[in-house]
Amino acid sequence: MKRLVIIEDQTAIREMLVEILRLDANYQLVGESGDGQEALALCLELRPDLIVLDAKLPGLNGVDILRRLVKKHPSVRVLVFSGHENPVLVREMLEAGAHGFVEKTAGLFEFKKGLETVVNGGTYFGPAVAALLRNVVANPAASSAADFLTDREREILQLVAESYSTKEIAAKLGISIKTVDNHRTNLMRKLNLHDVASLTRYALEIGLIEPKKTL
């Protein structure tokens, strides 16, 4: 029986996955979370065999969770289950250590098939992600991203785009306000972007945050 953690910020989807997988004798659900930083701490503590990971999470996105996690728990198997499958995001997830990526529009059959494949040592991609990867192979430039940003810069970029103030970012990350300001200055210089709106648009383009929903 494989020990499983589910990381998903949409409560209804997370609860649905929990109910489905609790009935499966192949898995033991040991934890769940909808917050990026909490999820990372949970996984480092529990060291599960398998993680179902959403790509877009508040506080710390799926790519950065995965990058940090595999450094300390390299044997963990990860299936990304996301409603977003742009080329940059898929490539970054795979480079960070994901073993599969299933789009939420693919349905539960694809999800369970992907989970079974990943936990047994294979790789699996949902139909939309597989088509996207074929397109990336044919058009490599489409998957280019800002690889020159550090992990800390990416983390601060996400928080800036999520409308956190400098003081709030400093408190959240446990660093000084001056350090946050220095990272913001480096971000703007590297990206040649000079205001929060531009940084937010860029974070959306590379898949760090989700578009805000309008009523």
Amino acid at site 80: V
**Domains located in the chain, CATH noted:** 2-141 (3.40.50.2300), 151-205 (1.10.10.10)
Which tens digit of pLDDT belongs to each residue from 164-212?
999 999 998 999 999 999 988 888 888 888 888 888 888 887 777 877 6
**Contact assessment for residue 126 and residue 104, using Cβ atoms and an 8 Å cutoff:** no
**Contact assessment for residue 29 and residue 77, using Cβ atoms and an 8 Å cutoff:** no
Supply the pLDDT for residue 212. 65
- Residues of the chain with confidence (pLDDT) below 70: 136-148, 212-215
How much helix, strand and coil, in percent to the nearest 5, is found in the chain? Answer: 55, 15, 30
Supply the pLDDT for residue 119. 94
Rounded Cα–Cα distance for residues 113 and 99 (Å): 13
Supply the pLDDT for residue 51. 97
Rounded Cα–Cα distance for residues 184 and 186 (Å): 5
Q: 145: helix, coil or strand?
A: coil
The encoded tokens of residue 133 equal 């990867």
Supply the pLDDT for residue 91. 83
Supply the pLDDT for residue 145. 46
Amino acid at site 10: Q
Rounded Cα–Cα distance for residues 159 and 164 (Å): 6
- Please name which of 121, 123, 119 lies closest in space to residue 99, comparing C-alpha atoms: 123
Supply the pLDDT for residue 214. 44
Stated pTM of the model: 0.70
In this structure, what are the phi and psi dihedrals at residue 144, rounded to the nearest 5 degrees?
A: -65, 145
Supply the pLDDT for residue 46. 95
